[in-house]
Amino acid sequence: MRTIGITLAVAVMCLTTVCGDSMDAQGTASGNVVLYFSGTRATGSFDSTFALSGQLTIDDAIVAFSAAGWARGAGSGDTVTLDLDAQATFAATGSTEAGERISVQGGLTLSGLTAGASGSSGSGMGEFYATIFIAERVYRVRGDAEGSASGGFVVPKDPYSMELAGDGLFHLSGELTLIVSPEAADDASTDSSATSPEEVSHQQAVDSVLDDLPWDTATWPEALLAELLEILTNVVDVAEVNESSPVAD
């Protein structure tokens, strides 16, 4: 995955909570789920296109946006009920109604997705956490995630698996925290006691994200968690979709 070298090291020294600022967005996904079975457990992975549209509320102003990119992840559950818990990463780039470039990148967890004998359908609830890059500002947003999916079985590429093709709908809503802004950077540059961005390592920025995630990272596959941390701290090129996917075949 090619990334644009924008690290959030500055976030460690200029974290600012903006009360009342929020995001409310609807997402759609279309792709395939591959399921494997072992004993009484089922594990799965999925890869899909992803579109996100909605609005940010910043300083009482409404900022409408639309973006597109990818979503992918993994899940596990019971082979009898086929109730699945899923973890996913997503990245979408687009523009605001005013023409500003925006990137929304992060992850989510959902519980309660199910698969039946002739297809899959269900809805789940969970949490999401994302970074929003817009103009010269960077926000973090965390909140509630709701999702539903439906689809049907298709001929699998791997004969030892089951494969489904379908669509998903998501609702993401949460509070914004401003972590990087031109004003904060100017203040830091004139404060002789402030830590410079060069002195704050990328690992410290990653550690700050880990401390703030709303879920137990031990439940995430290692490769998927690594991708989550990468997209939370760097703007990614959403055009390069599958080659670096941690859940690709």
pLDDT at residue 188, rounded to an integer = 47
Domain membership flag for residue 18: yes
The one-letter amino acid code at 203 reads Q
Cα separations in angstroms, 30 against 48, 72, 118: 5, 10, 19
pLDDT tens sequence across 157-216: 999 999 999 999 999 999 999 998 876 545 544 454 444 444 446 778 788 899 999 999
Distance between CA atoms of residues 103 and 231, nearest Å: 10
Distance between CA atoms of residues 26 and 173, nearest Å: 9
pLDDT at residue 12, rounded to an integer = 37
Distance of CA 150 to the CA centre of its chain: 20
pLDDT at residue 174, rounded to an integer = 98
What pTM was computed for the model? 0.83
Question: Residue written as tokens 């698969």?
Answer: 115
Burial 86-119 (b: 16+ CB within 10 A, else e): bbbbbbbbbebeeeeebbbbbbbbbebbbbeeee
Domain membership flag for residue 88: yes
Domain membership flag for residue 149: yes
Distance between CA atoms of residues 178 and 167, nearest Å: 33
Read off the tokens for 162: 């089951």
Domain membership flag for residue 26: yes
pLDDT at residue 137, rounded to an integer = 94
Domain membership flag for residue 246: no
pLDDT at residue 71, rounded to an integer = 98
Domain membership flag for residue 248: no
Let me know: does 217 contact 225? Beta carbons within 8 Å.
yes
Length of the chain: 249
Let me know: does 105 contact 88? Beta carbons within 8 Å.
no
Give the residue ranges of the chain where pLDDT is below 50: 1-18, 185, 188-190, 192-200, 242, 249
Count of domains observed in the chain? 1
Domain membership flag for residue 217: yes
What are residue 66's DSSP bridge partners? 53, 95
Domain membership flag for residue 244: no
Radius of gyration of the chain (CA): 19
Which domain does 70 fall in, by range?
3-236
